[in-house]
Amino acid sequence: MNKSSLIIVGICVVAFFIQLALPIFEDTFLLVSSEVFARPWILITSMFLHGDFLHLFYNMLILSVFGIVLEKIIGTKKFLMVYFFGGLVSGIAVTLFYPAALGASGAIMAVMGTLAVLRPKMRSIFYGMPMAAAAVFLMIVDFFGLFAPSGVANSAHLGGMILGLAAGLYLKKQYGEKPQRKVKQIPEGSFSNWEDKWM
């Protein structure tokens, strides 16, 4: 079964409750830009941490919806590669703009970017926009967010999305939507006319 995204959701939920119980847990695994070279694993561990309940809820909701779909299309192994490489790239993008960050949104953006290429017409949960349009909209929002600090790691979102788009282009030949063949309709009565003329 394709349930890796749900397992990730479970891990993030457990990690969140540990954060609440043990503040040192967050301090230990948080992505701190100045400490990446000394502790490179925090690029990954920070993906399982969240700032508050709403941060966790929305990230896990989006991951549950899009993660299940993408994993079904490309399989578990490739899904996990997209997710974790997306998170890794988004973490590196964080270090260029912010002193610290946490959350799974960069990895989730990678999932969305891949889907935007493989299933561009699929309806998203963002105002019902097609996935391709939603990806463009989110990238525009995050680009301008780089210049208007709001407490959101916009560079992480952009990094994850770009990785996802690249992964989608790489996988498109194998997993992209196949063009549907059009069936030519025979006008009603044309066959009977042919019978009358030639038989």
Do 160 and 58 form a contact (C-beta atoms < 8 A)?
no
d(CA 136, CA 33): 28
Nearest to 29 by CA among 89, 102, 80: 102
Q: Among 125, 95, 104, which Cα is nearest to 51's?
A: 104
Candidate list 5, 46, 105, 124, residue with the active-site label: 105
Burial class (CB in 10 A: 0-12, 13-18, 19+), 186: exposed
Active site residue 55: no
Angle at 173 between CA 170 and CA 178, to 5 degrees: 140
105 is catalytic: yes
Q: Which residues, 6+ apart, have CB-to-CB distance to 4 below 8 Å?
A: 67, 71, 76, 79, 80, 83
Exposed/middle/buried for 101, CB within 10 Å: 0-12, 13-18, 19+?
buried
Instruction: Give catalytic residues, as residue numbers.
Output: 105, 157
